[in-house]
Amino acid sequence: MDLDQLVFGLDLVSTFAFALVGARVAASKGLDFGGILFIAAIASISGGTLRNLFMGQQPPWIQYPWLFAPIFAAFLITIAMGKTQDVGRFALSLDTLGLAVATVSSVQFALTNDAPLVAAAVLGLIGAVSGGLFRDIMCQTEPVLLHRETIGTACLSGAIAYLALDALELNGAAVVVIAGLVVVLVRELSIKYNWNLPKVVKNP
């Protein structure tokens, strides 16, 4: 498969995952239909947009307008559900899938555009977490990225795993799958065991 097509395919999957979670968060906050659609779009395409802009490329949604299709599908699904309960475990799992796919897609995009290894790892992180960060800020929710579940650590671990395996010249599909699984494993373990990065302890 052509690398550009693979990156686009991965972007399509992560776009839907992030859009659905974003729409659910917006609905749980009581936003109207316009707000739900807007948050779904921000949550799903801002990471890829930043990634591409940092590499001097057009945002993916300009190159591939079809990326708006999964956003609109996520919006319709959320409206059809007609409920505003908090985001559940299924949505968290979907968000984890989006993080894994976006990390792999972003690192691969960076490498195919001749980014240095450190920059590729950073772009992998940016491409994965930016949408969720903007989503939480705009919904006036304390960003999950900044205080729990080691989201950034999970994505950075997957990015580093991708770069390490790619340096060993392993099969491209195997590199994608293993790096994605690293993201999923770290995130899921952090949720199950309530792992967090160290925090500054308040004085009594």
Q: What is the pLDDT of residue 204?
A: 64
Average pLDDT over residues 105-111: 92
Contact at 8 Å (CB) between 8 and 112? Answer: no
- Please check whether residue 184 is in contact with residue 96, taking contact to mean a CB–CB distance below 8 angstroms: yes
pLDDT higher than threshold 80 for residue 90: no
Please report the pLDDT score of residue 193 as a whole number. 86
Residue, of 60 and 8, whose pLDDT is higher: 60
Is residue 121 in a domain? yes
Q: Does residue 202 fall inside a structural domain?
A: no
- Count of structural domains, the chain: 1
Structural domain includes residue 198: no
In a domain, 200, yes or no: no
Tell me how crowded residue 171 is: count the other CB atoms within 10 A of its CB.
10
In a domain, 53, yes or no: yes
pLDDT in the model for residue 71? 95
pLDDT tens figures, 11-66: 788 889 899 999 999 998 999 999 999 999 999 999 999 999 999 999 988 988 88
Calculate the average pLDDT of the chain: 88
Determine, yes or no, domain membership for 149: yes
pLDDT at 4: 61
Each residue's pLDDT tens digit, 94-106: 888 889 999 998 9
Token pair 């993916």 in the structure block, residue:
60
User: Which residues neighbour 100 within 8 Å (Cβ) at sequence distance 6 or greater?
Assistant: 158, 179, 180, 181, 183, 184, 187
Task: Assess whether pLDDT exceeds 70 at residue 7.
Answer: no
Residue 111 lies in a domain: yes
pLDDT of residue 56: 94
More confident residue, 88 or 146: 146
Cα-based angle 138, 156, 175 (whole degrees, multiple of 5): 120
